A = this chain, B = another copy of it.
Amino acid sequence: MKKGILERLDAGEVVIGDGGYVMQLERRGYVKAGHWTPEAAVEHPDAVRQLHKEFLRAGADVLETFTFYSSDDKLEISGNVTSITGEQINEAACDLAREVANEGNALVAGSVSQTPCYANSRNEEEVKAIFKKQLDFFMKKDVDFLIAEFFSYVEEAVWAVQVLKTSGMPVAATLCISPEGDLNGVSPGDCAVRLVKAGAQIIGINCHLDPLTCVRTVKLMKKGLEDAHLKAHLMVQPLGFHTPECNHEGYLSLPEFPFALECRAMTRWDMQKYAREAYNAGIRYIGGCCGFEPYHIRALAEELAPERGFLPPASQKHGLWGSALATHFKPCVRAKSKREYWENLRPASGRPLCPSMATPED
């Protein structure tokens, strides 16, 4: 019997999250950018299963169900899923996550996210009905806990938490907001307070901005909780892309979104730095979102191996800090088999006609 998510966090363990599914599966050919819906859970289960396995192997302690944007209203609007129902997708996704999670010590998290319904109507009853429907799938399929993630408005996240709490399962909630607050201008500290008061035991930030910015926002949430004498576990699942110039809209506002983000991709060494920063900020649920590939998750697990006491399976195929280069036939490559080299490298883009920063849309 595996320990639950709260048992782990209460015991002070570091929980490594998984990475991003939709962007990675878009590149693998199974998700359509612009729609970002998860019908691949039904159409191409092998592809989804394999990505789950890679995250597990990289060290993930949690596998999220591949149910992003799988609410009925979203599927309908996107229009690219016609012969499959939301029920089929949600259930297939639960099965895939469970199957792979059982190959290791990972937990399955059922995940809900922002709805077009909220954006259009602000109608609490309708929005909650959507979350309730997804929750029913998760309960039927017996996930281990629940995550409400990718909310731009804390109000909608609170509604999601309230619905998910009815299950009796642990609930985590993450917003995709900047240090300036949610799109209504609610500060990160106030957002945190509202989420915890709604019942979330784990709160934090996901997506939209780069790791160090997201950690900064979580720190503001933590401060908000402290000021309100509230407690919760902290969580962060940021982008795997550098977004230093982004505003509160996050990477959606970048000219490069979504088809030219390559040169913003973070290295494994960037990820080790991020893992350390997150840990030092008191965050204990540390994962990724769009842009996080399996090797990025492995980097988190490797950075925090001293705290966790073990390396992930995928480290069998990775020399720490480049150590496997020590026997390379080229001396200039051998010279790279050490931490100092990779920590201090400033990688070139090979794009001298390109700027280093973009002007985000407002």
Contacts and interface: CB of A to CB of B under 8 A. Distances in A.
Interface of A: 26-35, 46-47, 50, 53-54, 57-58, 79, 116, 119, 210, 241-245, 252-269, 293-295, 298, 313-314, 316-319, 322, 324-330, 332-333, 336-337, 342, 345-359, 361
A58 B29 contact: yes
B295 A29 contact: yes
B267 A265 contact: no
A328 B34 contact: yes
Contact of A256 (B33, B328, B345): B345
B347 A356 contact: no
18 contacts: A29-B314, A30-B314, A30-B317, A32-B318, A32-B324, A116-B329, A244-B352, A259-B269, A261-B347, A262-B265, A263-B263, A263-B349, A264-B349, A346-B354, A349-B351, A351-B356, A352-B352, A353-B355
A317 to B, nearest CB: 4
Given A252-B330, A352-B355, 15 more contacts: A29-B295, A29-B313, A30-B317, A33-B325, A34-B326, A47-B50, A47-B54, A119-B329, A260-B347, A263-B349, A352-B357, A353-B355, A353-B358, A353-B359, A356-B356
Contacts of A254: 348
A82 to B, nearest CB: 12
How many copies of this chain does the complex contain? 4
Given A46-B53, A264-B263, A298-B29, A350 B245 contact: yes
A66 to B, nearest CB: 14
Nearest to A242: B350
A6 to B, nearest CB: 28
Nearest to A252: B330
Contact of A264 (B47, B50, B348): B348
A33 B242 contact: no
Contacts of A252: 330, 333
A268 B263 contact: no
A222 to B, nearest CB: 24
A294 B35 CA distance: 19
Contacts of A46: 50, 53
